[in-house]
Amino acid sequence: MSKHPTQTPPGPSLVPLRGAGKGPRPVNLQAVRAYGDTLDDGQMMLSFALPVPFSEEAKEAGRELCRKMGLLEPQVYHAHDLGEGFTYLTIYARNPHTVDFTKISVPKLDARRLDRHGVEALWAEHMTRKIRILGACTGDDAHTVGIDAILNVKGYHGEKGLEAYKCFEVKNLGAQVSNDVLLQEARAFAADAILVSQVVTQKDCHRSNLAALIDLAEAEGLRAGITYVCGGPRLSHAIALELGFDAGFGAGTTPTEVASFVVQAVVRERQP
């Protein structure tokens, strides 16, 4: 099995879709179109702001922008003044384009979803010491709610954080930790895994900061042998792989999801 497998939707190109009182209707997975009120109507909703004063001209500017995007019949359903010369718009329009769903593949985590007992059982079977996990919000990011939800005992969504696991030794560095300090701590702590939370995403600063961490880790000889995980509302496993991480988690991730991946990745890393 590859370390980062992809998954393609299985089954035939035509699948049934149930409509209200009309029974199954075929959906062509090779030509999937946006859905609003009626199958294949192509209806989409767009919400955005324009740096122009609230006016009828602002609404027409929004419609014209949609037309230039290739959307048909744009209609302004809502608009309001944001102040200081800005207008907020909600527009419905019809998209004539389709996608071939059968050709879409997305990187998937190469890890089984285990509960807490399963995580600890796997660790006990393969290791004689605790797995050392270092976590932080890096760069200028001061939003610790995500990293705390995963690491702290109180946890999230009814699940205890990684501090509650007997197989983990956890060190949470908190907020606004620079990449060089994080790696200094990783060396001193002899970390097996590094967890980085990024909530601040203006101008894609989370991407540049995470990529810089991996570049620095490689330069410092701290990339091999350490499992790197990132998480945040605008992150995914695919983005994490692109940035050089081993795994990425988005909004709503629970502690057991992270624990499952980390224990399996560390055990796999230490197998001959």
CA distances from 254 to 41, 144, 173, 185 (A): 37, 15, 20, 25
Q: What is the DSSP letter of 138?
A: B
Q: Where are the alpha helices (H) located in 19-162, listed in sequence order?
A: 56-68, 116-126, 145-151
Least confident of 10-19, 44-53, 181-190, 201-210: 10-19
Is pLDDT above 90 for 32?
yes
CATH topology of domain 107-269: Rossmann fold (3.40.50)
Strands 6-7, 106-107: pairing kind: antiparallel
- Return the active site residues: 154
Is pLDDT above 90 for 19?
no
Least confident of 65-79, 176-190, 258-272: 258-272
The per-residue pLDDT for range 134-145, each reduced to its tens digit, is 999 999 888 999
- pLDDT band of residue 64 (cuts 50, 70, 90) is very high
75 C-beta neighbours (distance < 10 Å), count: 12
Question: Taking all residues of the chain, what is their mean pLDDT, rounded to a whole number?
Answer: 90
pLDDT of residue 22: 58
Strands 14-19, 23-28: pairing kind: antiparallel
Distance CA 251, CA 153 (A): 19
As a residue count, the chain comes to 272
- CATH number of the domain at 25-94, out of 3.30.30.60, 3.30.465.10, 3.40.50.300, 3.40.640.10? 3.30.30.60
- pTM comes to 0.76
Structural tokens at position 211: 């990529």
Q: Give Cα 54 to chain centroid, integer Å.
A: 35
Task: List, in sequence order, every residue forming a beta bridge with 79; answer none if it has no partner.
Answer: 89
Mean pLDDT, residues 150-161: 92
Residues 95-120 as b/e (b if ≥16 CB within 10 A, e otherwise) read beeeeebbeeeebebbbeebebeebb
Query: Residue holding tokens 């932080």?
Result: 136
Mean pLDDT, residues 226-238: 94
C-alpha Rg value of the chain to the nearest Å? 23
Least confident of 2-11, 46-55, 249-258: 2-11
Is pLDDT above 80 for 50?
yes
Residue 73: enclosing H or E segment and its boundaries?
Answer: strand 72-83
Q: What ranges do the domains of the chain cover?
A: 25-94, 107-269
pLDDT of residue 204: 84
Structural tokens at position 26: 């075929």
Distance CA 58, CA 79 (A): 9
